[in-house]
């Protein structure tokens, strides 16, 4: 192992602010790098091919409840961890396939296509709200005014969360998600996450009961109907629903914030998108590759194995850096250049293999529909202040993004 490589470099203040310099050093060493005994993980997996291999290999598993119990049981005292480890993204094998299959049957391409008019309507509504808030040159927080509001509306509409309830979620879900970040979390964050988990469980328990009594045409009603034979336990259904809702807007909100910052930084690319909205899918993929909201995953080896020549003993876990794989110069020419015209842009932001993100199609749809409307509605978009630092690797993005904007009418006059 290169003595300069330690997970502490990534977890430092500088590493969190700019992980890409750390990733570049990793790429100079190899696709996978063993770590020392002081580190929690046996190795860092950073190369594109190695990351893709680990994510697709059934011999590498997500750290589920059984794995956690083999070394510690404290997690069972924390509602947030119990919720996470019962939901289908954090289980393996047949149990994962069983729960995911049910959600996949309700989360169909036909349902997403039917949601498209609502996404357009909601996009236009929140753009109107941005214009109102930013009138007369006032700075407006793009995150609160659009990047969070739109995905909350969309996932709420899809699942059947009543519109008046939707503003209740963002702060609680942010508290819940804080425990997902790499490294040990402060006790205050864990307590807030546990409270949020209990509140979210209570809310969705009530909503499930309501849909059983009076079903509608939303996804929750479909899940209840499809689960009539008892395919899933109540906790599997409830906790998977919570995680689906949370993931359904948090990652997309970070995508929008990261994407707008990139578009402001690259005005020529923005002008090209404004002139040709059909370019939007390529822009979505390059934003996801270049500045992804999700940088890492954790897997453990079910048996003795190796990855890119690095031996991994059974039971040891590895840190899988999709954010680094997306900048691998062996896979992407000039990986540190933002290039929406890039071809063959199969990034790993949505993972790969059996745990490929179930909501990937929805996130892509929202980006494809919203980005061209955003840059068309506001021909002039500038930062009102320097954006705040991004210090997380899971759900990496801005908390606030103050911008100045001009509508078509303002731009014509000026």
Domain boundaries, the chain: 7-413
Over residues 354-364, the pLDDT tens digits come to 999 999 999 99
Mean pLDDT of 228-239: 90
pLDDT at residue 2 greater than cutoff 70: no
Average pLDDT of span 6-27? 95
pLDDT higher than 80, residue 413: no
Of the chain, the percentage scoring pLDDT greater than 70 comes to 97
Q: What is the pLDDT of residue 387?
A: 87
pLDDT at 106 (0 to 100): 81
**Does residue 381 surpass a pLDDT of 60?**
yes
Q: Average pLDDT for residues 219-232, to the nearest whole number?
A: 89
Q: Residue 4: its pLDDT value, please?
A: 53
Task: Say what the pLDDT of residue 148 is.
Answer: 98
Which option is the CATH number for 7-413: 2.60.40.1840, 1.10.630.10, 2.60.120.560, 3.40.50.300? 1.10.630.10
Q: What is the mean pLDDT of residues 197-216?
A: 97
Q: Taking residues 383-409, what's their average pLDDT?
A: 90
Average pLDDT for 198-225: 96
Residue 333 has pLDDT above 80, yes or no: yes
Does the pLDDT value for residue 410 go beyond 90? no
pTM of the model: 0.95
Report yes or no: 357 and 322 within 8 Å, Cβ to Cβ.
no
pLDDT of 408 reads 59
Question: For all residues of the chain together, what is the average pLDDT?
Answer: 94
User: Quick one: pLDDT at residue 297?
Assistant: 98
Quick check: 1 pLDDT over 50? Answer: no
Q: State the pLDDT at residue 75.
A: 87
Are 146 and 127 within 8 A, CB to CB?
Answer: yes
Mean per-residue pLDDT for 386-404? Answer: 94
Average pLDDT, integer, range 309-324:
97
């Amino acid at each position: 192992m290169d003595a300069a490589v330690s997970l502490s470099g990534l977890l430092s203040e500088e590493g969190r602010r700019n992980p890409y310099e750390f990733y570049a050093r990793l790429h100079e060493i190899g696709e996978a790098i063993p770590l020392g005994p002081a580190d929690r993980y046996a190795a860092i997996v950073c190369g594109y091919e190695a990351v893709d291999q680990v994510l697709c290999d059934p011999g590498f598993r997500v750290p589920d409840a059984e794995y956690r119990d083999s070394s510690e049981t404290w997690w069972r005292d924390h509602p947030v961890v119990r919720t996470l480890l019962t939901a289908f993204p954090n289980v393996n094998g047949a149990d994962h396939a069983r729960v995911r299959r049910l959600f996949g049957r309700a989360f169909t391409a036909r349902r997403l296509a039917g949601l498209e008019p609502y996404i357009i309507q909601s996009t236009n509504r929140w753009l109107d709200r941005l214009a109102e808030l930013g009138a007369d040159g006032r700075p407006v927080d793009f995150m609160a005014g659009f990047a969070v509001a739109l995905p909350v509306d969309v996932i709420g509409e899809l699942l059947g969360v009543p519109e008046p309830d939707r503003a209740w979620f963002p702060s609680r879900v942010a508290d819940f998600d804080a425990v997902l970040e790499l490294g040990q979390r402060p006790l205050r964050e864990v307590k807030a996450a546990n409270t949020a988990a209990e509140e979210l469980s209570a809310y969705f328990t009530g909503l499930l009961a309501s849909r059983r009594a009076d079903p509608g045409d939303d996804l929750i009603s479909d899940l209840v109907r499809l689960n009539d034979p008892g395919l899933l336990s109540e906790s599997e259904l409830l906790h998977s629903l919570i995680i689906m809702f949370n993931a359904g807007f948090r990652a997309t909100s970070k995508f929008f914030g990261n994407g707008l910052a990139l578009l402001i930084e690259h005005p020529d690319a923005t002008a090209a998108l404004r002139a040709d909205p059909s370019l939007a899918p390529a822009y979505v993929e390059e934003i996801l590759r270049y500045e992804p909201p999700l940088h890492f995953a954790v897997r453990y080896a079910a048996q003795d194995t190796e990855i890119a020549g690095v031996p991994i003993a059974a039971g040891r876990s590895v840190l899988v850096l999709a954010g680094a794989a997306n900048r691998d110069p062996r896979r992407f020419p000039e990986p540190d250049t933002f290039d929406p015209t890039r071809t063959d842009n199969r990034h790993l932001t949505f993972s790969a293999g059996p745990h490929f993100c179930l909501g990937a199609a929805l996130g892509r749809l929202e980006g494809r529909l919203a980005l061209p409307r955003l840059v068309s509605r506001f021909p002039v978009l500038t930062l009102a202040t320097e954006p705040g630092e991004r210090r997380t690797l899971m759900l990496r993005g801005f908390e606030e993004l103050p911008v100045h904007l001009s509508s078509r009418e303002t731009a014509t006059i000026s």
